Structure 1
Amino acid sequence: MSLSLNWRVATLSLLLVTGGAFAADGLPAKPATTARPASHASAQRPGHAAIASANFHATEAGLEILAKGGNAFDAAVAVAATLSIVEPESSGIGGGFMAVLHRAKDGRNVFIDARETAPAAVNVKDYLNPDGSPNRDTALNGPLSSGIPGEPAGLVLIANRYGRLPLAQSLAPAIRIARDGFKPDERLHDAIDEVQKDLRRWPASAAKYLPGDKVPAENEIWKDPDQARTLELIAAHGNDGFYHGETARKLVAAVQAAGGNWTLADLASYQAKERTPITVDYRGYKIITAPPPSSGGVAIAEILNILSGYDLTKMDQVQRVHYIVEAMRRAFRDHNDYLGDPDFVKMPLDMLLSPFYADGLRQSILPDKATPSSMLPRSEAADPGMHTTHFSIIDADGNMAAVTATVNTTLASKFVAGDTGVLLNNEMDDFALVPNKPNVYGLLGSKANAPVGGKRMLSSMSPSIVIGADRTAVIGSPGGSTIITQVLEGILHFIDGQTAQQITAHKRFHHQYMPDVVMMEDGTFDAATSDALTKMGYTLKQRESWGFMNVVTWDRKANKLDAASDPRRPSGLGKVQ
């Protein structure tokens, strides 16, 4: 047992002498704070629906499926598949997703794990230079950077177990858009332009993203017939349309011809999984969020458990930011030290999610001074990519879907697998490929997240549903390691009574233990607040890149839905039907 784990267990043991009950899944049976209990979210139905996503084509595709009698889960399939066509820089069927679903008829909450897995032949030597240093190219570009995709299996699972419509009907809008074409938005145009040098390394990639040997203009129609054909095979045959047969053979042939190590057995053995979501109570609200292999839900729960000992509503901005940052610091110290694929790693979730453990962490926070991260037991964290997407849905019956999907960095591996049209992810970099060596974001990984064949790499994706006595929110965001803090801040703003539009537009800040810096969006703090935080010992640093949050809220008392797409992404759309 490590020294840091000993320290944490000792802290928890001292606090447990006061007593406390735990549920069978390791979650605290009693919240750290008590308040008016949240009513059952499905006790009534909205009677109308709302979707918020990062692209208007995707939102409209989801609404089209709802209008044809589909539910939120059918709409989620339509939105995700359409994003694979119109927003390939962020997600796609060559990547994976994580989702929290709420089924209205019985109140069931479930987590869908469609995270990618390592191929059986994964070899860390493939990610090393001759001198033993990390090879950033093989980790980020080409087929060696790609895990086995999970999105197709996840969409099939959702459609078959939770949807009302045939899978083919829910995939139809994406197939139509791919065949008829669409006009790329500015972000896709810029993404292709940014990585075109790497796209040119592989003929299929250049043919797809650089037609006529140039970046598609924003105002010209761009078609994706190869991906349309692959989606048609999934629509007709479900998992067999991707993980077996024609598509599987083409994927493996293309990967192996380019130096990758996928096999037909890797594809055939992939399974999307249902898991029990993490649930935490905070100020009378129930937050339902992502369990491992996401680190996000654990970190959010730990932060909220720490913050439950304070009344943030009575604090000025400086005090509020101070306590939130200190809670972030402590949760990020833990979040990658122990967490990984639950099928491979034993994790002390009962400790990390315990309100008593949070009590101990809270005692180490000084009221008027920052805690240098160097003073806390050391932990290292890995960071997933910035190019991710999230969408939120509530349908007329009160079914809900919070879905965060990713391919990792901009246009992922830049490798399109032959004439399948499938752009492969570069999620292998989310593993700790080389222990104690930084990944693309300069952060280190632990052995709990080391690559093993069939293992899922850790993620920060944090799709969440928040249920209060009178109000409900479906929330999530892209943004790498900032996903966790952006979703946390969105949850806090929602609990404070803010609207979907206010939540998505709110200025953001972030601390992830290492580096010991408060990253902030321009305009987050006024001069007086910045000065006060600096005097408390914080180092503030402006950050330009933040995720595009998409939120749907339901005021159940007024029976009013609201949807908002992040104003930082003009092509996004939040719409109530």
Structure 2
Amino acid sequence: MQCSSSLRTTPSKFLVAAARTSSLCSLVAVLILFSTLLTLSHASSYGEDQRGSEGANHRSSEVVAASGVVATDDRRCSRIGMNILREGGNAVDAAVGAALCLGVVSPASSGIGGGAFMLIRQANGEAQAFDMRETAPMRASKDMYAGNATLKSSGPLSIGVPGELAGLHKAWEQHGRLSWKRLVRPAERLARRGFKISPYLHMQMLKTQSGILADEGLRHIFASDGTLLQPGDTCYNKKLADTLRKISKYGVKAFYNGSIAHNLVGDVQKHGGILTVEDLRRYQVKIREPISSKVLGYKILGMPPPSSGGTSMILTLNILTQYGVQGISGPIGIHRLIEALKHALAVRMNLGDPDFLNVSGVVSDMLSPTFAEELRKTIDDNMTFDPGHYGGRWNQITDHGTSHVSIVDMDRNAVSMTNTVNGYFGAQILSPSTGILLNNEMDDFSMPTNSTGNVPPPAPPNFVSPGKRPLSSMSPTIVLKDEQLKAVVGASGGGMIIAGTTQVFLNYFAKGLDPLSSVLAARVYHQLIPNVVQYEDWTTVYNDHFELPADVREFLQQRGHILQGLAGGTICQFVVQDLETSKGNNSIMFLRGVSDPRKGGLPAGY
């Protein structure tokens, strides 16, 4: 197994699956049989069921298919997306169904009370970036928190104007094939009939227990008699089901300028929030041009600002490719990755909402191989440096949790979508009258404060302004080779998303690992400030252990890195197109989809 040097795991089907994948390229006949068997076995169980991700099957993290693949971090949502594809829907249709499902069964990470970035690349080569990021309410202001970070991080003043639903509907209007009602219906059913709490959701509930028990709406859904529900317990959100039914019947107008809007705003204002119906009416989805760059012979499509993910990922890769493939392997490659990430994170804080400031110069630099070459010259293979060495003028933001969906359909349309409510359970406020969990996306803005010690000041490009979108680390990515689709990748995990997505890309496209091993390999993270390398060292709620090897840790410490074990990290969804074979006069490109087992997700394909 190629990733055995960077992953220690308890005995599981991971080892069997990885061993299989390493020989698939030379065993096309086996692949066809394997794909057929997978399709048949999945077809018998791919109903829109209510089961969670618990149980031994969560280790079946890879699917091989010829027609279409949906990879999410919850098997119920992957199956819903796949069923949509099987009925003739395309990748956008499947993304709508899967994202709405995630908002029901994974509400700690996503939902229609939050926002998202969706990257679409059609089979004809056209690409779009749908910006459905939350915005600051019109009553918001730069100094609204008066230096109180707690008000910004949770509670009613942390709520931004939700954008996910508007973005999903806009993408569907332009590209969808199936009816809107058909796409909303599975999520409504899950909310009304109940869904089982997965072990991962329960872990998120435990970490947010005080917030859940303190909020009427959350307590009603996730607790009974003052006690949190347990893994495997059935959870109901019938108010959300009613909301989704209205949305399926009347479209997004009910949410942004109808009864749902009035009820939602009423609940927020009862908590002391500043969201208004006018904020919802004003919300606009932004359709932007994806950023694009050539790296290692591949074309990378990424999300432009206000995402910093695409530009930061490309800058990191442009720095690393100067070492050659051999130079980014082994422990020295990890040291160089960390140093490149620190440079990219320093530069990215000059970005912000392009509707409020001109960031074209910063974007141009971050995509420039020449700029990357100048930064590489400052990297020393024998040591690391304090944050000031990397030229950053501003302090970092600490964005939080998300969910990611990677989809490829029969025609090879592709969607990479990252959605979020920010922290676990967002603002930790659930609207009792609508069942909608509210985001705390205002926490992703920088807040004016008095700088102390050696900490840089907060970033003015990312200060609050009415209608503005906060900077994000979300990194939905699509990879092409000679204008043909090669991969769809992305991750959840807040400020660590850039590092996580970059490492999966490098594992597959530079280091030659198979897709499953590329996702399984243990990861490292750096956020520049604090000046600490966080490395995976954790046993997941599914009893699988991920840990950076001791020899790599020793190598990094010898170069001055301060290391800290991390019981968590990013959750990646990865779909690749490879393994071409002939069937009659036709050539078939198989898809391999991987859902990160760290969260217990399963992909679905046919």
Corresponding residue for 1:504? 519
Q: 1:383: which partner in 2?
A: 397
3-state secondary structure, aligned to 1:88 = coil
Structure 2: gaps (5+ residues) = 1-64, 538-545, 582-588
Aligned residue number for residue 12 of structure 1: none
Question: What corresponds to 1:83 in structure 2?
Answer: 102
Aligned to 2:354: 342
Pairing 1:529–2:549 present: no
- Does the CA contact (< 8 Å) of 1:435 and 1:446 recur in 2? no
1:561 to 561, 569, 591: 591
Q: Secondary structure at the match of 2:83?
A: helix
Q: Which residue of 2 aligns with 1:118?
A: 136
Query: Does 2:145 match 1:127?
Result: yes
- Distance in 1 (CA, whole Å) between partners of 2:525 and 2:227 is 38
CA displacement at 1:116 relative to structure 2: 0.2
From 420, 431, 441, the counterpart of 2:434: 420
Cα contact 1:471–1:557 (8 A) shared by 2:
no
Structure 1 pair 150–556 and aligned structure 2 pair: CA distance change class (3 A): farther
How far off is 1:315 after superposition?
5.6
Per-residue CA distance 1:242-270 (angstroms, 9 max, x = gap) = 10110111111111121111111100000
Match of 1:364 among 371, 378, 382: 378
Moved more, 190-199 or 67-76: 190-199
Instruction: Assess if the C-alpha contact under 8 Å between 1:473 and 1:494 holds in 2.
Output: no
Deviation at residue 96 of structure 1 after TM alignment: 0.5
1:492 corresponds to 2:506: yes
SS at match of 1:409: coil
Task: Rate the CA distance shift 1:414–1:525 in 2: closer, same or farther, 3 A.
Answer: closer
Q: Distance in 2 between matches of 1:457 and 1:81?
A: 23
User: What is the CA distance between 1:120 and its match in structure 2?
Assistant: 0.4
1:520 and 2:520 matched: no
Q: Which residue of 2 aligns with 1:405?
A: 419
* 2:298 matched residue in structure 1: 285
Aligned match of 1:548 in 547, 571, 578?
A: 571
Q: 1:239 to 1:471 in 2, by over 3 A?
A: closer
Which SS does the other structure have where 2:372 is aligned?
A: helix
Contact 1:333 1:512 in 2 (8 A): no
SS at match of 1:563: strand
In structure 2, the CA distance between the partners of 1:471 and 1:237, relative to structure 1 (3 Å rule), is: closer
Letter in 2 for 1:569: K
Q: Which amino acid aligns with 1:252?
A: V
* Residues 93-102 or 539-548, more deviating: 539-548
Per the alignment, residue 73 of structure 1 pairs with 92
- In the alignment, is residue 576 of structure 1 matched against residue 605 of structure 2? yes
**Distance 1:382-1:236 versus aligned 2 partners, 3 A rule:** farther
Matches of 1:402 and 1:89, distance apart in 2: 20
State the shift of 1:325 in Å: 1.7
Instruction: For residue 125 of structure 1, report the CA deviation from its aligned partner.
Output: 4.9
Counterpart of 2:248 in structure 1 is: 235
Query: CA separation in 2, counterparts of 1:416 and 1:186?
Result: 21
In the other structure, the counterpart of 1:275 is 288
Contact 1:47 1:397 in 2 (8 A): no
CA distance in 1, matches of 2:246, 2:259: 9
CA distance 1:443–1:156, change in 2 (3 Å) = farther
CA distance in 1, matches of 2:388, 2:399: 26
Q: Distance in 1 between matches of 2:169 and 2:534?
A: 39
Distance change in 2, residues 1:191/1:444 (3 Å): farther
Match of 2:77 among 46, 53, 58: 58
Distance 1:436 1:158 in 2: 42
Contact 1:365–1:371 under 8 Å retained in 2: no
| Cα offsets for 1:330-389 (capped at 9, x unmatched) | 1111111x1111111211222232222112112222343324333332333433543211
Q: Deviations over 1:112-162 (max 9, x none)?
A: 11100000001455423xxxx4241x2233221100001110110111111
Q: Which residue of 1 aligns with 2:112?
A: 93
DSSP-derived class of the 1:308 partner:
helix
How far residue 418 of structure 1 moved from its aligned partner, in angstroms, is 2.9
1: CA distance, partners of 2:420 / 2:164: 9
Distance 2:451 2:141 in 1: 16
TM-score normalised to structure 2 length: 0.82
C-alpha contact (below 8 Å) 1:90/1:409 kept by paired residues: yes
Q: CA RMSD in A?
A: 2.0
Q: Separation in 2 of the partners of 1:466 and 1:443?
A: 35
Q: Can you list the C-alpha shifts for 1:204-247, whole angstroms capped at 9, x where unaligned?
A: 33223324443223233222111111112222222202101101
Deviation at 1:444, TM superposition (A): 6.5
Q: Tell me, in whole angstroms, the C-alpha distance in 2 between the residues paired with 1:351 and 1:237.
A: 45
User: Whole-Å Cα distance in 1 between the matches of residues 317 and 579 of structure 2?
Assistant: 24
CA contact (8 A) 2:347 2:392 kept: no
Q: Secondary structure at the match of 1:365?
A: coil
SS in 1 for 2:177: coil
Letter of the structure 2 residue corresponding to residue 303 of structure 1: T
Q: Deviations over 1:22-81 (max 9, x none)?
A: xxxxxxxxxxxxxxxxxxxxxxxx851111111111111111211221111000000000
Match for 2:448: what amino acid?
A: V
What letter is aligned with 1:149? P
Question: Residue 519 of structure 1: CA displacement?
Answer: 1.6
**1:251/1:417 contact within 8 Å kept:** yes
Q: Deviations over 1:459-512 (max 9, x none)?
A: 100010112257711111111111001101111112033222112211001222
Matched, 1:266 2:279: yes
CA contact (8 A) 2:399 2:473 kept: no
Aligned partners of 1:443, 1:116: CA distance in 2, in Å?
26
Equivalent position of 2:311 in the other structure: 298
Which consecutive residues of structure 1, in runs of 5 or more, have no partner in the other structure? 1-45
1:443, distance to aligned residue in structure 2 (A): 9.4
Q: Which residue of 2 aligns with 1:180?
A: 193
Given residue 546 of structure 1, which amino acid in structure 2 is its aligned partner? G
Q: Distance in 2 between matches of 1:503 and 1:528?
A: 20
Alignment TM-score, normalising by the size of structure 1: 0.86
The 1-side partners of 2:182 and 2:202 are apart by 29
Check conservation: 1:414, 1:424, Cα contact below 8 A. yes
C-alpha change, 1:54 and 1:197, in structure 2 (3 Å) is same
How far apart, in 2, do the equivalents of 1:524 and 1:219 lie?
28
User: What is aligned with 2:446?
Assistant: 432
**AA partner of residue 193 (structure 2):** D
What code does the residue aligned with 1:142 have?
Answer: G
Note if 1:483 corresponds to 2:497.
yes
1:39 match: none
- Contact persistence 1:466–1:491 (CA under 8 A): no
Q: Does 1:154 align with 2:170?
A: no
8 Å Cα contact 2:352-2:471 kept in structure 1: yes
User: How many residue pairs are counted as aligned between the two chains?
Assistant: 521
Partner Cα separation in structure 1 for residue 348 and residue 469 of structure 2 = 16
Query: Secondary structure at the residue paired with 2:310?
Result: helix
SS at match of 1:519: strand
Deviates more, 1:263-272 or 1:318-327: 318-327
Deviation at 1:530, TM superposition (A): 2.6
**Which amino acid counterpart does residue 565 of structure 1 have in structure 2?**
S
Q: What's the CA shift string for 1:434-459, capped at 9, x where partnerless?
A: 34679xxx996301000111000111
Per the alignment, residue 18 of structure 1 pairs with: none
**1:66-105 CA deviation, whole Å, 9 max, x = no partner?**
122111100000000000100001000000111111111x
Change (3 A) 1:314 1:458: closer
Asked if 2 retains the 8 angstrom alpha-carbon contact of 1:477 and 1:486, the reply is yes
AA of the residue aligned to 1:573: L
Check whether the contact 1:465–1:475 (CA below 8 A) recurs between aligned residues.
yes
